[in-house]
Structure 1
Amino acid sequence: MNRTILHLDLDTFFVSCERLLDSSLKNKAIIVGGTGDRGVVSAASYETRAYGVHSGMPMKMARQLCPHAIYIRGNAGTYTNFSKQVTEILQSEVPLLEKSSVDEFYADLTGMDRFFGCYKFSSELRNKVFRESGLPISIGLSINKTVSKVATNEAKPNNQLMIDIGYEKPFLAPLSIKKIPLVGEKTYRIFCNMGVKNIHTVQQMPLEMMTSVFGKNGQVIWQRANGIDNTPLVAYHERKSISSERTYGQDTTDVVALKTTIVAMAENLAFQLRRGGKLTSCVTVKIRYSDFQTYSKQIKIPYTSADHHLIPVVLELFEKLYNRRMLIRLVGVRYSALTAGTYQINLFDDENKTVNLYKAMDAIRVKYGDRSVMRAITLGDSARTIGNFTNPFNGEPPIVLAHRHQ
């Protein structure tokens, strides 16, 4: 029996989320990403595509190409919430779901034609996602993951496309070789040097020639060009780690600023844990120096999601890690080995009021935003740019929680 694979992709996901939050951004040129010169474009609206802007481009170049665009730093927590909402809708409707990224999904609909047409079901599912989340989404339907993904990309924006069984090769043939997943810029340049620009040429090439030029990847590219892909779906499972990183606009040795940043990261990630009903037992701190040498240290700890347990661990790891006294380009914090659970009182050093304090703080954050409540140490200038510090209180300052480290 032939498989039926549905691919779903939320169109310009970060931009769409920002437009849901602020309707005045509709039909305007929007670019989301790091706002410094070293930042990278995470998402660009279709209005900016005519100027050559695309995701992954240095923000400095995007500003030169499209200076009139509205630039937004964005908020990872906000996008995660929208992604989770869409994931829950899809999980309730399809028998097998693979979540390949925050805005991209595969669903296996094999056998569902016995009850109703898969294309009709897919179309109704797409409409349901848009109706319940407000996010535009495109879909592609075929017998495998590769053809479905390419079909989705051809259907964009906010549209759908089905490739009938047996028409995979004719559909792919006239398209650029860059449309095949696995063909990046380096591989594309090699194809160009060979005089190959479209998929039709690859379909006619001997498999032996592809493997001699590209090795094992050559066989995979040749199979995908011919519409062959037996890759199974990997059932969606919850993430096992969360992390945050900050690349500085200028390399720095300001230890106070560095500590301010990692404490802000540690605090925000701890809130993300509690909001998701998770605990962590492994903490990692990463440093990248100006010479691009990257170092990290991690430590196993008792399961927790409490700021006052995690922040001292993060600072301790940073002290052990920062020993070269060179300019630092990037710092990061990661919590891994996650498990489901809620914060429990430590009988030796916690009180009931500590748990109640976290509940009250988190309730404010859920209602007014991640940064509506923060520790005093995270108010430094260097910490302001790691998340969305938009003030939710109409000009009033955020609530500040003063603290001191033991």
Structure 2
Amino acid sequence: MISPHHIVHFDLDSFFVSVEILLDPSLKGKPVIVGGSAERGVVSTCSYEARKFGVHSAMPMKTAMRLCPQAIVIRGSGSEYSKYSRIVTEIIASKVPLFEKASIDEFYCDLTGMDKFFGVSQYTRELRESIIRETGLPISCGLASAKFIAKMATNEAKPNGFLEVPNGREKDFLWPMGIEKVNGVGKQGEQQLKNFGLYTLGDVARTSQEVMEKYFGKWGESLWRKSQGIGSTTIETDWEQKSMSHENTFHDNQTNADFLFSEIVRLTEKTAYDLRQDEKLTGCITIKIRYSDFETTSRQEAIDYSSLDDRLIAKAKDIFAKHYQKGRPVRLLGVRFSQLIPFTMQMDLFNNSQEKLNLYKAVDDIKDRFGSKLVKKAITVKQKPKDTK
């Protein structure tokens, strides 16, 4: 007999706000908004006290302040959020055999088979309590037989709670749920389903799979499967090993430092473009240097999660400057991004980064339409290699 799956979903509650409260306990219990400037900014996240006034993520700050004029607005610190995210990651990694970092503040864990040695429910509770105790951060979690059910259970457990959907009781949990609570059902999809008379997952379940697929395509079929409690249990354990990179082997060995720095900029910019196209953030940069005698060195450093050219380029240049042996001929340079996690809009909304992100995306669009050679940074155009021997 196949052992039932036990999937846990962890979600740090109002993560950025919770970190800010750790740094300044006087904020506790107050309407707090983390985001950009009042004039042009966007809400990154907000406390539950602010949500009571209708404030939510991605809302223009002007609207948020109109709804909640007494709110305390904080610009936010990506470095602190990256730091605490890594602390939670380390705790989970030390206690769970299989886990996936789904975003900066979300994790999936597979505890299947552990029920032979531990009570899975009790182990989940203890792990959650351990995270709270060691970090001081509130965290909600759901335990179920599939990832999407565990995530929905987490949402029902918020704030700072735990909810288990026992194996065999999935339909009891799912069918009363409004279809708007299913991940992936946006406002437009919700309205389409309601126009068809489908208000809950139970309504979807009582509609044949063929009808759902006929009127809503593959999305309808997927939604029907979810209504039956059927969902993925695959934990992407190789998220930390996945990487993106670009490197260049020179026709002639190079000692011109200005050219080498410009090449680091070009390779980093090229890899950052790929990063945004794949909707990822990176948490680690590696610089590879191969000298003329084929000796190769690779140096990496952890960074605050980002997808912004200026931040990535600054760190790449810094790593190269610290480790390049000046005057020694270089045969190859490479830039690699690793510790990739799904793009989180909120992580690039700090320190005027929203405008930068919009600019980079606009440049990406131009490259997509007309080719990457059309748009280049000035430093990569001006510097040319000098002939070396």
What interval of TM-score do these two structures reach, taking the shorter chain for normalisation? Answer: 0.5 to 0.7
How many equivalent residue pairs? 285
**Which residue of the partner structure matches residue 167 of structure 2?**
165
Report the residue type matching 2:325 in the other structure: L
Could you tell me which runs of 5 or more consecutive residues in structure 1 were left unpaired when the two chains were aligned. Answer: 243-269, 271-278, 288-300, 307-330, 351-382, 388-404
Whether contact under 8 Å (1:286, 1:333) holds in the other structure is: no
Rounded Cα–Cα distance in structure 2 between residues aligned with 1:22 and 1:118: 35
Structure 2 matches for 1:290-301, cutoff 5 A?
none
- Out of 55, 58, 78, the residue aligned to residue 57 of structure 2 is 55
Report the residue type matching 1:347 in the other structure: Q
Structure 2 matches for 1:197-346, cutoff 5 A?
197-235=199-237, 237-238=239-240, 240=243, 281-284=267-270, 332-333=309-310, 335=312, 344-346=322-324
Task: String of CA shifts for 1:240-297, please: whole Å, max 9, x gaps.
Answer: 479xxxxxxxxxxxxxxxxxxxxxxxxxxx9xxxxxxxx995324999xxxxxxxxxx
Label 1:77 to 1:121 Cα distance change in 2 as closer, same or farther (>3 A).
same
Whether contact under 8 Å (1:9, 1:138) holds in the other structure is: yes
Whether contact under 8 Å (1:182, 1:221) holds in the other structure is: no
1:59 CA drift (Å) = 1.7
- Tell me, yes or no, if structure 1 residue 12 matches structure 2 residue 48: no
**Which residue of the partner structure matches residue 29 of structure 1?**
31
Label 1:106 to 1:302 Cα distance change in 2 as closer, same or farther (>3 A).
closer
Structure 2 matches for 1:367-382, cutoff 5 A?
none
1:89 CA drift (Å) = 0.2
Label 1:71 to 1:305 Cα distance change in 2 as closer, same or farther (>3 A).
farther
140-149 vs 50-59, which moves further: 50-59
Structure 1 stretches of 4+ moved >3 Å: 239-242, 284-287, 301-306, 331-336, 341-345, 383-387
Task: String of CA shifts for 1:100-132, please: whole Å, max 9, x gaps.
Answer: 010000000000011110000000000000000
**Which residue of the partner structure matches residue 138 of structure 2?**
136
Label 1:187 to 1:60 Cα distance change in 2 as closer, same or farther (>3 A).
same
Rounded Cα–Cα distance in structure 2 between residues aligned with 1:106 and 1:209: 32
Label 1:2 to 1:384 Cα distance change in 2 as closer, same or farther (>3 A).
closer
Rounded Cα–Cα distance in structure 2 between residues aligned with 1:280 and 1:223: 46
- Out of 39, 42, 51, the residue aligned to residue 41 of structure 2 is 39
Query: TM-score, normalised to structure 1's length?
Result: 0.63
**Which residue of the partner structure matches residue 150 of structure 1?**
152
**Which residue of the partner structure matches residue 343 of structure 2?**
none
**Which residue of the partner structure matches residue 255 of structure 1?**
none
Could you tell me which runs of 5 or more consecutive residues in structure 2 were left unpaired when the two chains were aligned. Answer: 246-263, 274-286, 290-297, 301-307, 329-349, 355-381, 384-389
Task: String of CA shifts for 1:210-262, please: whole Å, max 9, x gaps.
Answer: 112221111111111221103411015337479xxxxxxxxxxxxxxxxxxxx
**Which residue of the partner structure matches residue 395 of structure 1?**
none
Whether contact under 8 Å (2:299, 2:323) holds in the other structure is: no
**Which residue of the partner structure matches residue 183 of structure 2?**
181
Label 1:92 to 1:209 Cα distance change in 2 as closer, same or farther (>3 A).
same
Report the residue type matching 1:187 in the other structure: G
Label 1:56 to 1:114 Cα distance change in 2 as closer, same or farther (>3 A).
same
Task: String of CA shifts for 1:12-63, please: whole Å, max 9, x gaps.
Answer: 0000000001111011100111224332211111101211111122222111
Partner-residue secondary structure (3-state), 1:67 = coil
1:70 CA drift (Å) = 0.5
Rounded Cα–Cα distance in structure 1 between residues aligned with 2:169 and 2:78: 39
Partner-residue secondary structure (3-state), 2:53 = coil
- Tell me, yes or no, if structure 1 residue 70 matches structure 2 residue 48: no
Whether contact under 8 Å (2:9, 2:109) holds in the other structure is: yes
- Out of 126, 129, 140, the residue aligned to residue 128 of structure 2 is 126
Partner-residue secondary structure (3-state), 1:282 = helix
Whether contact under 8 Å (2:288, 2:299) holds in the other structure is: no
Report the residue type matching 1:345 in the other structure: H
Whether contact under 8 Å (2:152, 2:181) holds in the other structure is: yes
Structure 2 matches for 1:377-396, cutoff 5 A?
385-386=352-353
The percent of aligned pairs where both chains have the same amino acid is: 43
Rounded Cα–Cα distance in structure 1 between residues aligned with 2:171 and 2:272: 46
Label 1:223 to 1:127 Cα distance change in 2 as closer, same or farther (>3 A).
same
Query: TM-score, normalised to structure 2's length?
Result: 0.66
